[in-house]
Structure 1
Amino acid sequence: MFTVESISIRYEQKNVIRNFSFTVNPGEIVSIIGPNGSGKSTLLKAVARHIPYYEGSVELEGTNLKAMSPKQVARKMCMLSQKNQAPSDMTVIDLIAYGRYPHKKWFEKLNDEDREIIQWALEKTHLTAYQDRTVASLSGGESQRAWIAMALAQRPKILLLDEPTTYLDISHQHEVLELIRELNRDMGMTIVMVLHDLNQASRYSDNIVVVQAGEKALCGKPNQVMTTDMIRQVYRMDAEIQYILSEQKPRIHLLSTAR
């Protein structure tokens, strides 16, 4: 159980997230959506302890994250940002090895168990053939998979992803989202991600949290959240909603700016 309770975040005396609460159950995929500037990424960074919040609490399995050391948090939760950068000469396998450091003492070397986990992460992300390539030489989709492999080597229970499909073309977006779904399905990994694309959020999420101007507008299953009223009120767009029988998930067709 992962719980965000009434957190508020302030930048330069301005409230950007106000009294925000939501719960993520083990093994769920939860997407955070909302217009640009609504506070989605800020909320995720605060949940990951990358930025402070001045009110409320974030609890993982009943323990307040502020009471945990950075290493303790890293063993349970990992966040990947929108744009991740590695040194130009770093290989894929060296990047993935960084995921083992939360489990090591200072200057402790990798052992056979660590190397097995690194190879497992390569296999899970379909990157075994790329392990000796530099990260800089990879395509956008391959690079994103390499960073996800690094997160997997960390063996977290929760993976936080800030717009994982940003900067990717359509095919690579699909590739990364299918990998995320595979990790959730096969490993029971809990995923919380910020997404821009409403149809991607609808298709790949168990639950969706809608952020509007720093506040929670809605939270629920895709067929509860993805309504014409929500899209009009939050995005100022008119839309049609279609249900695909094979998926039982709403598909959104944006029509025009709402008047």
Structure 2
Amino acid sequence: MLRVDSISIRYERKTIIQDFSFSVNEGEIVSIIGPNGSGKSTLLKAIARQTSVSEGKIELEGIDVKSMHPKQTARKLCMLSQRNVAPDDMTVADLVAYGRYPHKKWFEKLGKEDDEIIGWALDRTHLSYYKDRRVASLSGGEAQRAWIAMALAQRPKILLLDEPTTYLDISHQHEVLELVHELNQEMGMTVIMVLHDLNQASHYSDRIVVVREGRKQMCGSPSQVMTTDMVRDVYQMNCEIQCDCKEKKPRIHLLHTARS
């Protein structure tokens, strides 16, 4: 469905991403992990066409995204950043309605079908009760769900999430990731997300891409990627791995910093 083919990204003379390749199949949840400053968010922004690629190409359904009209891309991809800010007076319903504009012509008003999709997106994210509330008045978890509802109204094939649990407490992190998993399972929505928490990545992902200093270190299933060697080499931490044999989802228990 999505193919990142030998891309490099440079800012001035600094190389952020170097000769990076991986692919994402339809209906997968793929998490991108790695230390701070390794290039994870830059990689996600390149997929969303928010950052230019210096070399290589990114293909969506066999088409180079560079050749796609921005509105065409917006119908297929939706990216939510770490921090999403709405105007102080914007209601949840107004925010979700913005997801319909990639499907409308210039100055074309929203119609009955759009209203139905907006209502559906609010219902799927359990926000119908909050539709007239200001986004600024919501809790962190509620606000994140509102932005995901906007993305759903856009009806993208791929949802891109850049650290969706950042700034949320543990319960809201769980709430947001459970919603993402639910959307993936029930709607077949493909999800690519950047995560810091290794156990969250292991639990919710079909495959994991490990980034280190702008290069792909590993790519595979959680059981293939989440190893003591990977954690020591990439994060300089020793750990123990506990594996749920039924789900084949490793759980990482960090111990202490690994000595050089």
| TM-score for both structures, normalised by structure 2 | 0.99
Question: Structure 1: where are the runs of 5+ without partners?
Answer: none
Instruction: Give SS of 1:87's match.
Output: coil
1:219 is the counterpart of 2:219: yes
Q: CA deviation at 1:248?
A: 2.0
Q: CA deviation at 1:69?
A: 0.5
1:155 is the counterpart of 2:155: yes
Instruction: Give SS of 2:96's match.
Output: helix
Instruction: Give the percent of matched residue pairs that are identical in Structure 1 and Structure 2.
Output: 74
Q: CA deviation at 1:249?
A: 0.4
**What is the CA–CA distance in structure 2 between the aligned matches of 1:159 and 1:244, rounded to whole Å?**
28
**What is the CA–CA distance in structure 2 between the aligned matches of 1:48 and 1:77, rounded to whole Å?**
7
Instruction: Give SS of 2:238's match.
Output: strand
The aligned residue for residue 191 of structure 1 is 191
The aligned residue for residue 14 of structure 2 is 14
What's the Cα RMSD here? Answer: 0.6
Equivalent residue letter for 1:144: Q
Q: CA deviation at 1:246?
A: 4.2
List structure 1 runs of 4+ shifted beyond 6 angstroms: none
Q: CA deviation at 1:11?
A: 1.2
Q: CA deviation at 1:13?
A: 1.3
**What is the CA–CA distance in structure 2 between the aligned matches of 1:99 and 1:236, rounded to whole Å?**
41
Q: CA deviation at 1:4?
A: 0.4
The aligned residue for residue 174 of structure 1 is 174
Equivalences, count: 259
Equivalent residue letter for 1:146: A
**What is the CA–CA distance in structure 1 between the aligned matches of 2:43 and 2:127, rounded to whole Å?**
31
The aligned residue for residue 165 of structure 2 is 165
1:38 is the counterpart of 2:63: no
The aligned residue for residue 146 of structure 2 is 146
**Structure 1 residues 63-212: aligned runs within 5 Å:** 63-212=63-212
**What is the CA–CA distance in structure 2 between the aligned matches of 1:99 and 1:194, rounded to whole Å?**
22
Equivalent residue letter for 1:12: E
Instruction: Give SS of 1:176's match.
Output: helix
Q: CA deviation at 1:247?
A: 2.8
**What is the CA–CA distance in structure 2 between the aligned matches of 1:162 and 1:257, rounded to whole Å?**
26
CA offsets 1:117-136 (integer angstroms, 9 cap, x no match): 00000000000000000000
| TM-score for both structures, normalised by structure 1 | 0.99
Question: Structure 2: where are the runs of 5+ without partners?
Answer: none
